[in-house]
Amino acid sequence: MWFGHEVWSDRIINELSMGMDRQIKKQSWLRKNYVLVIIGTAFLIFVLVTTVFGDHRSTYKVDIDKISVGEVVSDTFQDYISITGVAEPIRTVSLHPLVGGQVKEKLHEEGDEVKAGDIILTMTNPELEQSIIDMRSELEQERINVQQSKINEEKNRAGFKSQIMEIEFSVNNERRNYEEKKYEFEQGMIPKNAFLMAKESYEFTLKKRDIQIENLHRDSLLSVLNIRRMENNLERNEAKFHIEQRKLDDLNVKAPVAGRLSSLLNVEIGGQLGKNSGIGYIRDLSELKILANIDQYYTGRVSRHLRATCTIENKDYDLYVDKVSFEVNGGRFETELLFTDHMPDLIRVGQTYHIKLRLGDSQVGILIPRGGFFQSTGGRWIYVIDKSNTFAEKRVIRLGSKNDEYYEVLEGLEPGEKVIVSGYDTFGDAEKLVFK
């Protein structure tokens, strides 16, 4: 036992001695930390992949319960817009006196219904009345002068005839004397000198006759022209007189059209009214029109003769666009609509009515519900919800017409897709909306 123990001890001592002389090999850092190296490498690869291939779009978290979602559908698009209009008289005619004067009597008050030609008020104008009296006297004198000139012309014409007869008588006497002297000269009964004197006297008488007749005709023509001038002056003065005389009737201010008298201003008994001074209006109620202000977005689509419908007391009435204003004020332009057939009995001036204005024919198309998104995007893009219903992404679209319920989609969306139609004011420039 001892021997064996001794041998075992020696062996141990020898091995320890050998171990102290042998160099111990050190393990490398990578071998000791290989787990950490693997984890770090994987993390770097993840960061690299995320950087190169990851979604870097700006995102915004949205509570899905606080947005409105609409579905893209294929359906019939009714191309119309709803507008509001106010019933107004077909026309409003300005009321003004054609001549000035002092108010004598008022026969109608503001708010009265008048017919065309009804006298509303009467006036007096002493200066006008005296002027007409003077013109009448002058016309009477002119008529007398014209008549006197015509009588004188007749006398002169008779005198001209008498003078021509006397001239012709002298010519005939000279002609007979000339012929007699010529015969006697040819027979040798008288000297040549006597013949020549008879001949010259006859020729002189002929020339004198022609000159006298020409002068008589000239005098007669001048007399006729003078009478015509006087007659023309008389006609012009008579026309002026009739115009002035009508002014007496214009002292009665009359209703030019039938309607309701309104805004009868500055009209008091004894008050002075000037020519063409505005004193009120007559609102022609024979027909009413609808005045509507339309958003300038539709400037290029609203034109004359477009059809519309107005519901009054649960009954539809057809209208058409009669006038379109080219002036835009406050982002809107004015349009006048008239009833196609008869005017509704229950329509009232100043009352507001809702109208559907048809801009085109109905047609099948891709539609999305109207919403506040349009104010933010102008219809150029929209958030489209992914099929997973976990997020929505921006997409460029192109819209066409719109009505009260839908926008017509021309490009960018397909039926069955869902879009966010509520306002985008809180989303900023986010390219992607993540639902929470």
pLDDT tens column, 35-86:
666 776 767 776 565 554 445 568 899 998 899 999 999 999 988 899 999 9
The Cα 290–Cα 399 span in angstroms is: 30
pLDDT of amino acid 46: 60
pLDDT of amino acid 79: 87
Contacts of 213 (CB under 8 A, 6+ apart): 164, 167
Dihedral sign, CA of 289, 295, 296, 298?
negative
pLDDT of amino acid 141: 92
Selection from 385, 360, 414, 382 nearest residue 80 by Cα = 360
The Cα 144–Cα 382 span in angstroms is: 94
Q: How far is CA 361 from CA 9, 80, 118, 308, 358, in A?
A: 115, 9, 48, 12, 8
Q: Domain 81-89+279-358, what fold? A: Elongation Factor Tu (Ef-tu); domain 3 (2.40.30)
- Is pLDDT of 422 > 50? yes
pLDDT of amino acid 10: 53
The Cα 241–Cα 232 span in angstroms is: 14
pLDDT of amino acid 346: 83
Residue 305 DSSP class? T
pLDDT of amino acid 24: 45
pLDDT of amino acid 32: 56
Dihedral sign, CA of 372, 373, 379, 382?
negative
User: What tokens appear for 80 in the block?
Assistant: 């119309």
* pLDDT (average), residues 332-337: 95
Share of the chain above pLDDT 90, in %: 44
The Cα 343–Cα 58 span in angstroms is: 59
Share of the chain above pLDDT 70, in %: 88
pLDDT of amino acid 36: 67
- Is pLDDT of 224 > 90? no
The Cα 392–Cα 383 span in angstroms is: 6
pLDDT, tens only, 94-130: 888 989 899 999 898 888 889 999 999 999 999 998 9
User: What tokens appear for 350 in the block?
Assistant: 């100043």
Angle at which helix 126-186 crosses helix 192-250, to 10 degrees, equals 170
The Cα 183–Cα 199 span in angstroms is: 12
21/305: higher pLDDT: 305
pLDDT of amino acid 4: 43
Q: How far is CA 432 from CA 57, 92, 370, 382, 411, in A?
A: 7, 58, 21, 11, 20
pLDDT of amino acid 344: 86
Contact 73, 415 (CB under 8 A): yes
22/307: higher pLDDT: 307
Dihedral sign, CA of 355, 359, 364, 368?
negative
* pLDDT (average), residues 283-287: 86
The Cα 170–Cα 206 span in angstroms is: 9
pLDDT, the chain, mean? 85
pLDDT of amino acid 309: 93
* pLDDT (average), residues 395-424: 93
- Report which residue type is found at 429: D
User: What tokens appear for 178 in the block?
Assistant: 């000339």
Selection from 300, 284, 290 nearest residue 334 by Cα = 290
pLDDT of amino acid 334: 95
pLDDT of amino acid 13: 45
pLDDT of amino acid 335: 95
The Cα 327–Cα 329 span in angstroms is: 7
Contacts of 170 (CB under 8 A, 6+ apart): 205, 209
The Cα 378–Cα 289 span in angstroms is: 34
Give the 3-state secondary structure of 89-134. Answer: EEEEEEECCCCCEEEEEECCCCCCEECCCCEEEEEECHHHHHHHHH
The Cα 63–Cα 203 span in angstroms is: 133
- Report which residue type is found at 43: F
275/46: higher pLDDT: 275
pLDDT of amino acid 16: 44
- Is pLDDT of 277 > 70? yes
pLDDT of amino acid 355: 94
Highest mean pLDDT among 148-162, 196-210, 211-225, 412-426: 412-426
May I ask the CATH architecture of the domain 59-79+363-435?
Beta Barrel (2.40)
